[in-house]
């Protein structure tokens, strides 16, 4: 399935109508199954689905490493796509004790949970990582827009990326859902066996608590976004030891937690 398609439209500008067309992102129902049993149904962009399956499994706590997945198959069906994941015995047994079904709209981060305690997951502490200058923070944030291939075509998707000092933009993933984009990034990092603790995580979306939780699982010491964080995201980042940066635009940024990773000299 293609990640986008071109549709016909009618444009009204300067007081007049004109025929037009534009590229729009595709979204599909993505069913995630473990050992033959349904676990989640998400609306997502049908791109980088192996990354999505692995990243989702990591950020949901189904697995703790790539080695705990025996096999992964992507099955395209008429009504959507099924990601069939087969787990090793230990994570499969663990999953039986925490079954839940999730069916949410695009980018839904907490839909389908059954208990309030599930909303606040066990906290992952991030490593110290490296210190970065304000100029490097700005470089990381500004580098992402030029590499958003799908967003450049559609102007309708989010991105999550890892920026490194010596490589620049190392990995970038896009999706109609901001949570999905970050899951795809986490999965890509795991598949590439790339450590995230020496770089900067960059988001094109607002920072909610789930985004901080996922970034902490990926061991990102610094998370920077173009939008603002929620109050709970700030508290969670503070407890995780994460440097949280928001409102990162062309004229600067705001630091909400652990500013010691920013070098001012």
Domain at 187, CATH number? 3.40.140.10
The tokens describing 189, both together, are 């990092």
- Do 107 and 189 fall into the same domain? no
- Do 138 and 50 fall into the same domain? no
- The answer to the question of residue 16 being in a domain is no
- Concatenating the DSSP letter of every residue in 16-75 gives EEEEEEEEEE--EEEEEEETTEEEEEEEE-SSSHHHHHHHHHHHTTS-SSGGGEEEEEEE
pLDDT at 81: 96
- Do 95 and 181 fall into the same domain? no
E strand spans, 59-198:
69-77, 80-87, 102-103, 158-164, 168-175
- The answer to the question of residue 45 being in a domain is yes
Q: What global pTM score does this model have?
A: 0.89
- Do 139 and 249 fall into the same domain? yes
- The answer to the question of residue 103 being in a domain is yes
- The answer to the question of residue 149 being in a domain is yes
Expressed as residue numbers, the domain containing 237 is 134-261
Q: Which of 29, 88, 108, 262 is an active site residue?
A: 108
- Do 144 and 96 fall into the same domain? no
pLDDT at 100: 47
- Do 251 and 204 fall into the same domain? yes
- Do 112 and 159 fall into the same domain? no
pLDDT at 95: 87
pLDDT at 96: 78
C-alpha distance across the termini of the chain, in Å:
49
- Do 152 and 106 fall into the same domain? no
| Number of domains making up the chain | 2
pLDDT at 66: 95
- The answer to the question of residue 7 being in a domain is no
pLDDT single digits (tens) 74-108: 999 988 999 999 999 999 988 877 664 443 444 45
Strand partners, 77: 80
- The answer to the question of residue 226 being in a domain is yes
Q: Which residues of the chain have pLDDT under 50?
A: 100-107, 110-112, 116
- The answer to the question of residue 5 being in a domain is no
DSSP 170: E
pLDDT at 112: 46
- Do 165 and 213 fall into the same domain? yes
- The answer to the question of residue 81 being in a domain is yes
The tokens describing 222, both together, are 């610094």
- Do 100 and 165 fall into the same domain? no
Known active-site residue 111? no
pLDDT at 108: 52
């Amino acid at each position: 399935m293609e990640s986008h398609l071109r549709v016909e439209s009618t444009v009204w500008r300067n007081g007049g109508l004109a025929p037009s067309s534009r590229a729009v992102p595709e979204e599909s129902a993505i069913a995630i199954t473990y050992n033959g049993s349904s676990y989640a149904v998400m609306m997502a962009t049908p791109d980088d689905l192996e990354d999505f399956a692995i990243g989702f499994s990591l950020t949901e706590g189904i697995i703790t490493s790539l080695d705990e997945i025996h096999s992964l198959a992507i099955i395209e069906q008429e009504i959507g796509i099924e990601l069939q994941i087969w787990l090793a015995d230990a994570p499969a047994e663990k999953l039986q004790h925490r079954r839940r079904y999730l069916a949410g709209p695009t980018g839904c981060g907490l839909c389908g949970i059954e208990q309030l305690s599930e909303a606040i997951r066990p906290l992952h502490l991030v490593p110290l990582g490296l210190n970065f200058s304000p100029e490097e923070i700005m470089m990381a944030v500004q580098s992402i827009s030029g590499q958003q291939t799908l967003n450049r075509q559609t102007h309708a998707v989010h991105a999550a990326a890892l920026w490194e000092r010596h490589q620049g933009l190392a990995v970038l993933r896009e999706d109609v859902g901001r949570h999905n984009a970050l899951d795809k990034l986490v999965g890509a990092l795991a598949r590439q066996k790339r450590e995230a603790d020496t770089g900067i995580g960059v988001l094109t979306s607002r920072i909610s608590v789930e985004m901080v939780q996922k970034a902490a699982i990926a061991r990102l010491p610094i998370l920077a976004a173009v939008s603002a964080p929620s109050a709970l995201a700030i508290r969670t980042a503070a407890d995780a030891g994460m440097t949280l940066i928001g409102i990162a635009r062309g004229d600067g940024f705001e630091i909400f937690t652990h500013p010691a990773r920013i070098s001012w000299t």
